[in-house]
């Protein structure tokens, strides 16, 4: 490993500008791999994505390998000069399912460039934004550093997982061992977040946690004719809907006992800064066909999105759902339910309160069963740490606008795990846009996000190396 050359950021940025086509070709190759981690049918495609990233890290010069797990493999690579600053970059190569497939305008796994109504150019494909496009902004920055200067500006460890969209158990198990190769870093860089708007970069400084589970209510031993049994026979769909409806009161507050324990009021300075962002709820919701905030009454839309907990029914099914009509009382009904958590809320306590609520609300002659999926604690970053100022300046230099410190309604459980298991704070820097449609049909990633993101990472690495 050569000594670190003096950072020559201009040469690195020129290199990125010169290699835009090559960068797009590499991203497209990764996007063509159908790495849907929640569906066992795509396990082999997940491995292909891990192998592709392994090869690419090695091509850049990383000392990289796959770490086998009970699920999809981790990809870990080390590069750059030892002894100095050391960053740990995290991303994931798995993607969300694509259904409903019929709503995609083009093949979700055949990426292409499309123009947006406002003139922006974007890459359309499942994973274009979440998270393959974001991951590649960082790898392209590393590639350009190597090409332009012969080395990375500082020690870089890359950690990529394949289960971010399906609970992340394998990474959780790996981090539980507090591996030295990761603990050695000074700070983590986590890329699957967004910009404030297409012109304004951002560092996300607080994240909601989450709890996800599936609940199944069982009633009759078989589907019943609702005429012959209706009225006397317990209907699992009734039980499920009544119990789920009771999760929220008329004011939009979640009714679980103790749910709001550890939910802090928004600090005045942060409230002031958020109000300064000029967020327009009507525009934000209008862009997705809605008009008014539907959450807790008396809370601003940004609070509802960033600093207040939620309960959501993400899926529900039971009984006859086909063509025509079938007068059936079904044997069972199901729902997928998630909570977003903030402050000091405890995911396990919320999970326990939810299960207790459902068991108490359901007719005792019916059965209630739960399947746990992932959970993550909410987290807030120490924005006074020097890395935050350095990264913020680097982003501001690239985009010509003051980078914003923002919150996020999303949950990135790994950030809390990095803190607890590795003692690392995370710099949440990403280049997604609100209209990227992640987790939805026609997911896209702006070309300006992709190229500007790579240039941004080149600058952030230089800043953190200094």
Distance CA 55, CA 48 (A): 11
Q: Which is nearer to a copy of itself, 288 or 385 (CB)?
A: 288
The closest alpha carbon to 438, from 182, 176, 148, 129, belongs to: 129
Binding positions for a copy of itself, 294-353, rule CB under 8 A: 294-296, 301, 304-305, 308-310, 312-331, 333-336, 338, 340
Q: Which is nearer to a copy of itself, 333 or 379 (CB)?
A: 333
- Token pair, residue 300, equals 């601003």
Q: Establish if 35 lies at the interface with a copy of itself (CB under 8 A).
A: no
Smallest distance from a copy of itself to CB 43, Å? 12
Q: Which is nearer to a copy of itself, 145 or 445 (CB)?
A: 445
> Can you tell me which of 1, 20, 32, 39 binds a copy of itself, judged by CB under 8 A?
39
- Residue 333 C-alpha from the chain's centroid: 28
Sequence-ordered list of residues with C-beta below 8 angstroms from that of 45, at least 6 positions apart, any chain:
33, 34, 35, 36
Q: Which is nearer to a copy of itself, 22 or 315 (CB)?
A: 315
Binding positions for a copy of itself, 83-112, rule CB under 8 A: 96-97, 99-100, 103
Smallest distance from a copy of itself to CB 312, Å? 5
> Can you tell me which of 115, 117, 177, 227 binds a copy of itself, judged by CB under 8 A?
227
Smallest distance from a copy of itself to CB 222, Å? 5
User: Angle of helix 347-361 relative to helix 236-245, nearest 10 degrees?
Assistant: 130
Give the burial class of 386: count Cβ atoms within 10 A of its Cβ; 0-12 exposed, 13-18 middle, 19 or more buried.
exposed
Q: Which is nearer to a copy of itself, 229 or 260 (CB)?
A: 229
Distance CA 156, CA 153 (A): 9
| Residues in binding contact with a copy of itself, number by CB under 8 A | 101
- Residue 95 C-alpha from the chain's centroid: 10
> Can you tell me which of 3, 10, 251, 291 binds a copy of itself, judged by CB under 8 A?
291
Q: Establish if 44 lies at the interface with a copy of itself (CB under 8 A).
A: no
Smallest distance from a copy of itself to CB 191, Å? 16
Q: Which is nearer to a copy of itself, 260 or 373 (CB)?
A: 373
Distance CA 148, CA 151 (A): 8
Smallest distance from a copy of itself to CB 246, Å? 7
Binding positions for a copy of itself, 398-417, rule CB under 8 A: 408-411
Q: Which is nearer to a copy of itself, 185 or 414 (CB)?
A: 414
Distance CA 425, CA 418 (A): 7
What is the per-residue DSSP string for 187-256? Answer: EEEE---B-SBTTB-EEEEEE-EEEEEEEEEE-SSS-EEHHHHTTTS--HHHHHHHHHHTTB-TTS-B-S
Smallest distance from a copy of itself to CB 372, Å? 10
Q: Which is nearer to a copy of itself, 25 or 242 (CB)?
A: 242
Q: Establish if 229 lies at the interface with a copy of itself (CB under 8 A).
A: yes
> Can you tell me which of 216, 226, 355, 448 binds a copy of itself, judged by CB under 8 A?
226
Q: Establish if 184 lies at the interface with a copy of itself (CB under 8 A).
A: no
What is the per-residue DSSP string for 93-139? Answer: --B----SGGG-SS-TTS-EEEE-TTS-EEEESTTTTTTHHHHHHHH
User: Angle of helix 20-31 relative to helix 9-18, nearest 10 degrees?
Assistant: 60
Contact between 339 and 210 (Cβ < 8 Å): yes
Q: Which is nearer to a copy of itself, 15 or 377 (CB)?
A: 377
Q: Which residues in 180-213 are b (16+ Cβ under 10 Å) and which e?
A: eebeebebbbbbbbbbbebebbbbbbbbbbbbbb
> Can you tell me which of 119, 231, 276, 386 binds a copy of itself, judged by CB under 8 A?
231
- Residue 312 C-alpha from the chain's centroid: 16
Q: Establish if 426 lies at the interface with a copy of itself (CB under 8 A).
A: no
Q: Establish if 369 lies at the interface with a copy of itself (CB under 8 A).
A: no
Distance CA 53, CA 77 (A): 10
Q: Establish if 251 lies at the interface with a copy of itself (CB under 8 A).
A: no
Q: Which is nearer to a copy of itself, 1 or 285 (CB)?
A: 285
> Can you tell me which of 73, 220, 343, 452 binds a copy of itself, judged by CB under 8 A?
220
Stretch that binds a copy of itself, among 34-42, 270-278, 379-387, 421-429 (CB under 8 A): 34-42
> Can you tell me which of 363, 393, 401, 448 binds a copy of itself, judged by CB under 8 A?
363
> Can you tell me which of 20, 38, 66, 216 binds a copy of itself, judged by CB under 8 A?
38
Q: Which is nearer to a copy of itself, 183 or 238 (CB)?
A: 238
């Amino acid at each position: 490993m050569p000594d670190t050359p003096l950072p020559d950021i201009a040469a690195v940025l020129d290199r990125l500008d010169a290699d835009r086509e090559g960068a797009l070709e590499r991203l497209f190759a990764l996007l063509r791999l159908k790495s849907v981690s929640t569906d066992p049918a795509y396990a082999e495609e997940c491995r292909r994505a891990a192998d592709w990233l392994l090869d690419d890290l090695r091509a850049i010069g990383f000392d990289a390998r796959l770490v086998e797990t009970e699920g999809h493999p981790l990809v870990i690579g080390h590069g750059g000069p030892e002894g100095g600053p050391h960053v740990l970059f995290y991303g994931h190569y798995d993607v969300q399912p694509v259904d409903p497939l019929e709503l995609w305008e083009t093949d979700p796994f055949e990426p292409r460039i499309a123009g947006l109504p406002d003139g922006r150019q974007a890459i359309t494909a499942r994973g274009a934004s979440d998270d393959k496009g974001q991951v590649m902004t960082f790898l392209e920055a590393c590639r350009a550093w190597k090409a332009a200067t012969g080395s990375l500006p500082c020690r870089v460890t890359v950690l990529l997982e394949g289960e971010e969209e399906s609970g992340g158990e394998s990474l959780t198990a790996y981090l539980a061992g507090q591996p030295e190769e990761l603990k050695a870093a000074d700070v983590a860089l986590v890329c699957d977040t967004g910009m404030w708007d297409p012109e304004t970069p951002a560092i996300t400084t607080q994240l909601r946690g989450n709890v996800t589970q599936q609940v199944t209510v069982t009633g009759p031993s078989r589907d019943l004719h609702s005429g012959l049994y209706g009225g006397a026979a317990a209907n699992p769909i009734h039980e499920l809907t009544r119990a789920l409806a009771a999760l929220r009161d008329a004011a939009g507050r979640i009714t679980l006992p103790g749910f709001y324990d550890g939910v802090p009021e928004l600090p005045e300075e942060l409230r002031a800064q958020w109000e300064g962002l000029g967020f327009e709820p009507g525009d934000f919701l209008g862009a997705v066909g809605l008009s008014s905030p539907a959450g807790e009454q008396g809370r601003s839309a940004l609070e509802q999105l960033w600093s207040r907990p939620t309960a959501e029914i993400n899926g529900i099914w039971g009984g006859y759902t086909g063509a025509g009509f079938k007068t059936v009382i079904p044997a069972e009904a199901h729902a997928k339910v998630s909570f977003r958590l903030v402050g000091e809320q405890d995911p396990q306590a919320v999970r326990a309160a939810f299960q207790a609520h459902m068991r108490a609300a359901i007719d005792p002659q019916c059965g209630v069963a739960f399947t746990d999926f992932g959970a993550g604690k909410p987290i807030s970053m120490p924005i006074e740490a020097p890395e935050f100022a350095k990264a913020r300046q680097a982003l501001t230099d690239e985009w010509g606008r003051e980078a914003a410190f923002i919150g996020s309604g999303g949950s990135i459980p790994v950030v809390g795990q990095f803190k607890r298991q590795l003692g690392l704070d995370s710099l949440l820097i990403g280049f997604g846009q609100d209209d990227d449609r992640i987790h939805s049909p026609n997911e896209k990633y702006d070309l300006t996000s992709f190229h500007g993101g790579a240039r941004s990472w080149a600058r952030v690495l230089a800043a953190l190396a200094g």
